Structure 1
Amino acid sequence: MDEDFQNAAERASNTKTVLPPDIQLLLYAYYKKGNHKSKLIPVENLKENDLRSAFKYNALIQIKGLTATEAKKEYIKLVAQYIPD
């Protein structure tokens, strides 16, 4: 699965496909969780008017119950669904 995850990550990072913002955020969150890098920063540390960070934070909150393995599986599925070969 790790190889599939890395291949999906490479595909996603090299795509020219424009993805909807909600899918981009899910990919971000699943990737972070799959790499064990989903450390949540306290909300009070977000900069005022930093909407982008707030959306990322929210995406991570939404998947916080997933394991890294589950996040990898979801990431691979999303890439397969939205990013053509």
Structure 2
Amino acid sequence: MLVLPSELMQREATACLHMLVQGLRSQPDAVVVADAAALTSFDSSALAVLLECRRQAHASGKTFGVKHLHPRLRELAALYGVGELLPATP
């Protein structure tokens, strides 16, 4: 499972993405789950990071889901029309 930090703003996005992609590549499972439970402070960069993780997972033949996505971030994803690209995972 990939774990998002408590803060994910534009200034942290590149480093966070690098860390998450490394974790994604090291996971042998066919399903990659990002746990966003700790994420409390974010901007739209968080969506960009999650979408790139999804792209990387799919490029590796894996599926991608998000667990505990903050309601405001889910609303932002829906507003941008990408909500269905970040499916909730139990």
Which of these two proteins has the greater Rg computed from alpha carbons?
1
Which is richer in helix? Answer: 1
Normalising to structure 1: TM-score of the pair? 0.30
More contact order relative to length (CA 8 Å, sep ≥ 6): 1
Higher strand share goes to which structure? 2
